[in-house]
Amino acid sequence: MNPSNYRPRGMTLKRSLLSRYMLIVLSAIMILPISLPVVSVVAFLQGGGKVADTEDSKLYRDGNRLESMWHMEAAKLGNRSPQQIDAALERKKTEYPKAELFWVDGSGHTRLQLPETGQLPDQWSASYTVQYMKQGVSADDFTIVAFIGGSQSEGFMVFKIPRVLMQSGAAEASKSIGPIFVIVVLIVLAIFLFISLLFFYGIRKRLVRLQAAMAIPAGNGIPAPVATNQPDEIGQLELAFNEMVGKLEASREREANEDGLRRDLIARLSHDLRTPLTAIRAHAFGLKQERLTEEGRQSLQLIDRKIEYVSQLIENLLSFTLLESGKYPYRSERIDIVRLARASIAGWYPAFEQQGYEIDINLPEAQIYWFVDPEWMERVLDNYFQNVLRHAKSGGYVALRISGEHGGRLTIADRGPGMAETSDERGAGIGLAIASLMLEEMGLFSEIVSGSEGTFIHIGTKS
What is the footprint of other proteins within residues 2-61 (CB under 8 A)?
Answer: none
Whole-number Å distance between alpha carbons of 24 and 191: 10
Pick between residue 125 and residue 362 the one whose CB is nearest to other proteins: 362
Q: Does 295 bind other proteins (CB under 8 A)?
A: no
Question: How near is the Cβ of 423 to other proteins at its closest, in Å?
Answer: 22
Q: Does 302 bind other proteins (CB under 8 A)?
A: no
Q: Are the C-beta atoms of residues 11 and 240 closer than 8 Å to each other?
A: no
Burial class (CB in 10 A: 0-12, 13-18, 19+), 387: buried
Pick between residue 212 and residue 346 the one whose CB is nearest to other proteins: 346
Q: Out of 57, 236, 319, 455, name the contact with other proteins by CB under 8 A.
A: 319
Pick between residue 156 and residue 352 the one whose CB is nearest to other proteins: 352
Q: Which stretch binds other proteins (CB under 8 A): 117-125, 182-190, 213-221, 322-330?
A: 322-330
Pick between residue 347 and residue 427 the one whose CB is nearest to other proteins: 347
What is the footprint of other proteins within residues 387-406 (CB under 8 A)?
Answer: 400
Pick between residue 6 and residue 285 the one whose CB is nearest to other proteins: 285
Q: Does 304 bind other proteins (CB under 8 A)?
A: yes
Q: How far is CA 440 from the centre of its chain?
A: 37
Question: How near is the Cβ of 336 to other proteins at its closest, in Å?
Answer: 8
Buried b (16+ CB within 10 A) or exposed e, 273-308: eeeebeeeeeebeeeeeeeeeeeeeeebeebeeebe
Q: Which stretch binds other proteins (CB under 8 A): 80-88, 138-146, 248-256, 266-274?
A: 266-274
Question: How near is the Cβ of 308 to other proteins at its closest, in Å?
Answer: 8
Question: How near is the Cβ of 12 to other proteins at its closest, in Å?
Answer: 56
Of 215, 216, 220, 286, which Cα lies nearest the Cα of 248? 220
DSSP string, 127-154: HHHHHHHHHHHHSSEEEEEEEGGGSGGG
Q: Are strands 397-403 and 358-362 parallel, antiparallel or unpaired?
A: parallel
Q: Out of 132, 147, 349, 456, name the contact with other proteins by CB under 8 A.
A: 349
**Residues near other proteins (CB under 8 A), total:** 42
Q: Out of 133, 222, 226, 307, name the contact with other proteins by CB under 8 A.
A: 307
Q: Are the C-beta atoms of residues 210 and 241 closer than 8 Å to each other?
A: yes
Q: What contacts 455, CB < 8 A, 6 or more positions away?
A: 388, 392, 413, 414, 416, 418, 419, 448, 449
Of 442, 437, 435, 407, which Cα lies nearest the Cα of 333? 442
Sheet of 454-461, strands arranged across: 358-362, 397-403, 409-414, 454-461, 444-451
Question: How near is the Cβ of 200 to other proteins at its closest, in Å?
Answer: 56
Q: Does 425 bind other proteins (CB under 8 A)?
A: no
Pick between residue 49 and residue 427 the one whose CB is nearest to other proteins: 427
Q: How far is CA 239 from CA 85, 220, 229, 233, 245, in A?
A: 97, 20, 10, 10, 10
Q: Out of 375, 421, 440, 453, name the contact with other proteins by CB under 8 A.
A: 375
Q: Out of 294, 350, 354, 463, name the contact with other proteins by CB under 8 A.
A: 350
Q: Does 328 bind other proteins (CB under 8 A)?
A: yes
Q: What contacts 338, CB < 8 A, 6 or more positions away?
A: 363, 364, 366, 367, 368, 402
Q: Does 313 bind other proteins (CB under 8 A)?
A: no
Binding residues for other proteins, rule: CB under 8 A, are 267, 270-272, 274-275, 277-283, 285-286, 304, 307-308, 311, 314-315, 318-319, 322, 328-329, 339, 342-343, 345-347, 349-350, 361-363, 365-367, 375, 400
